Structure 1
Amino acid sequence: SVLFLSQIPTNAAGLIECRCHPFWSQKYCPSHENDNTARCCSCERLESRNARYVALGDGRSLCLECLESAVMDTGDCQPLYHAIRDFYEGMNMRIDQQIPILLVERRALNEAIIGEKNGFHHMPETRGLCLSEEQTVTTILRRPRIGENQLVGMRTYPQKLIRRCDVTAILVLYGLPRLLTGAILAHELMHGWLRLKGYRNLSPEVEEGICQVLSYMWLEAEVMPGFVNKPSTSTASSSSSSSSKKGRTSAVEKKLGEFFLHQIAYDASPAYGGGFRAANAAVKKYGLASTLHHIRLTGSFPI
């Protein structure tokens, strides 16, 4: 799609200068990066004149395509969470502990990060957190309604989290589409799995990298039902996904899923991007179980 291309003014050299999104190929004037034009917090596309975005109330905006499948409250998230736990079980990575999953606002997530003692590596815009400390977290109890280009009527509740094991809860930012919410959940659940299985003192590259691999694998299973990444799932007895249970993923949602896969694969950060590529290479070569065993023994990926 083309954004404002016919209205882009020429520069000093008399040429039209525009930027282009690497995945969506959306063209836009460079000035829109700094003039408060809304950018979807999920898919990164800029708001155009014929497609107004919805303000989430915390500085984030959501396009209507992402809003269509947005997960808005803690209750909304439970079926997705259970489907991802089933996915883990299908990978022979069953999690017996009942870890609470809470959908939260941006401020509550940031406050929880501050309360974590070992939260030493997070992305600039953190969208999920695997908690290990006891905290009181404000969770979203009732989904907001859509008013005039903004959400209204949200009901929140301060929930006291009790530490019963090495993982207290998983927090996920509210208002993101189902596939992105699920990808974040799959990532954070892997942090939980590693802690519960006794993996300690891993470098950011190793821990975030292997967590991104699980996120990527779940997305692949959702976007391409029937797709089996055999080297990655060589130890899996079955790989169930929520999309196979609820029917086919829509074309719009499938394209979003492909974008989220692209984001993981081409992330430029050392921990999340470099870590993912190293972890993925190891999993493709040796399988997930052998890679995890090697990480347990050495704290590094097999080469």
Structure 2
Amino acid sequence: MVAPKQQERGAETVRCPICRADAVETMEEAKPLYSRVVHWLNSEGLTYNNLPLKLELCNRAKLAQLLHERHGSHSLGVTTSTTYAQDGRIVRTEVSGVAILHGLPKILFQGVTLHELGHVWLIVHDILDLPTWGEEGFCELLSYRYYQHLNTPEANYYASSIEKNPNSVYSDGFRRLHALTEKYGFPRLLTILNTTKQLPR
């Protein structure tokens, strides 16, 4: 609970002073964090073919509009893309960027951004036919690995939240992708995904 005197006037959510002080509210705050996660992804073997990606911070109303409600109202980010179809078949998907809810704590902002950049990587490499649990599980795995890389109490809390996500698409998907990583190793898992466009069995 946040004491009434400590609450922000007109805010979308109630945040304690500590979270408020650590929040990513502006693009000036977001850009270096965005660069940091892209650099980490590159070091993990994920490349984006020099695709220029736009980062956008938005409020809940704009985020819901971008989501078209397809992930429910609790999503914290979305990948913005355009899909082209012909005769009912997807011909190609073009990514324009990622949009992240403003006001997230810095570490959570990085984790959400990583998740969305996971979707971007799959699209850029034409990995478009994964089951929903596979796609979301892969993206959750990226965030989880980053939180483990940071290894701070806050990051470990968010990693634990991924493990305990009540949405089974995300939590089961994460567990299955984590098991594949244990079996094949992360670099080989990426190679298999990139070459076969499918998850290994």
| TM-score normalized with structure 2 length | 0.85
Q: Partner residue of 1:105?
A: 59
Q: Contact 1:55–1:62 (CA<8 Å) still a contact in 2?
A: no
| SS, match of residue 262 in structure 1 | helix
* 1:68 aligned to which of 18, 21, 26: 21
- Structure 1 unaligned runs (5+)? 1-46, 135-164, 225-253
- Structure 2 unaligned runs (5+)? 84-92
When the two chains are superposed, the root-mean-square deviation of aligned CA atoms in Å is 2.3
* Higher-helix-fraction structure: 2
Is 1:85 aligned with 2:38? Answer: yes
The alpha-carbon deviation at position 200 of structure 1 amounts to 0.8
| TM-score normalized with structure 1 length | 0.58
Q: Partner residue of 1:42?
A: none
Q: Which moved more, 1:189-198 or 1:68-77?
A: 68-77
Higher Rg? 1
The number of residue pairs the alignment matches comes to 190
- Counterparts of 1:64-213 in structure 2 under 5 Å? 64-95=17-48, 96-114=50-68, 120=70, 122-133=71-82, 166-213=94-141
Q: Contact 2:64–2:73 (CA<8 Å) still a contact in 1?
A: no
| SS, match of residue 39 in structure 2 | helix
- Counterparts of 1:217-256 in structure 2 under 5 Å? 217-222=145-150, 224=151, 254-256=152-154
Q: Contact 2:127–2:197 (CA<8 Å) still a contact in 1?
A: no
* 1:258 aligned to which of 156, 161, 174: 156
Q: Partner residue of 1:23?
A: none
> What is the aligned-residue identity percentage?
23
| SS, match of residue 130 in structure 1 | strand
Structure 2 distance, partners of 1:178, 1:65, is 12
AA aligned opposite 1:64: P
